Amino acid sequence: MIRRVALLCLALLLPLVAAGQARAAGYRYWSFWDRDGSAWTYATQGPSTARPSDGAVQGFRFAVSEDSGDADQPRGAADFGAICAHTPRQDGTKRVALVIDFGTPADAPAGEKPPGAARTACARVPEDATTAEALATVAKPLRYDTNALLCAIAGYPRRGCGEQVSDKATGAPSAAPATRNDGGGPSVGLIAGGAAVVALGAAAVWQARRRRA
């Protein structure tokens, strides 16, 4: 009896695990980052509203990611002094160091490939300029969708904008992104489902032993 219950629990749990893995999909998009000292932090504003100060370092990375917790960071040098070494300060303007990482071939849309390695640029713009305005001075053409989402930098990619992609591990069509717990582990739904199955199994085992007694 106990063996039968264990097999039943396993049969119920496997679909939950598979569902959790199927939801481990992502979106292909340009993520936006701020440089905080020696580390990148995911930006809390979009480039069209962020207004960096003189000396800021900001980055963009094209990749497939599930959420901000697992997003790939920009690669390459990210030092303001080095990037803007030949761009002196001028009254009424500010300098923003930008790191633009086109990502890897694995994350590129079908039929496209990254136009090169990560590049850096120093944008000199008016003091009240946004990051989007700074980016436009050094990496045209930019492309946005109707919701003002940044779709392409320097013309890459040619098509698409934040589209959901197939699961990277299996190639299966992706579902809605899973809700992750604070530790970035399995989805909350998967944990709850597994706990329910274990609880049912424990109850069945207890009843079986009670009948024997």
For the segment 140-181, what is each residue's pLDDT rounded down to a tens digit?
999 999 998 999 999 999 999 999 997 554 344 443 343 333
How many residues are recorded in the chain? Answer: 213
pTM: 0.69
pLDDT band at 138 (very low <50, low <70, confident <90, very high): very high
Domain identity same for 65 and 151: yes
H/E stretch holding 209: helix 188-212
CA end-to-end span of the chain: 14
For the segment 58-76, what is each residue's pLDDT rounded down to a tens digit?
999 999 998 888 899 999 8
Q: What is the pLDDT of residue 41?
A: 96
For residue 109, give the nearest of 70, 39, 159, 152 by alpha carbon.
159
Q: Residue 178 belongs to what domain range?
A: 2-22+172-212
Domain identity same for 142 and 53: yes
CB 109 within 8 A of CB 151: no
Domain identity same for 92 and 182: no
Tally of domains in the chain: 2
Q: What is the pLDDT of residue 69?
A: 85
Q: What is the pLDDT of residue 4?
A: 52
For residue 62, give the nearest of 134, 117, 135, 133 by alpha carbon.
117
For residue 175, give the nearest of 66, 68, 70 by alpha carbon.
66
Amino acid at the residue 116: G
Burial class (CB in 10 A: 0-12, 13-18, 19+), 79: middle
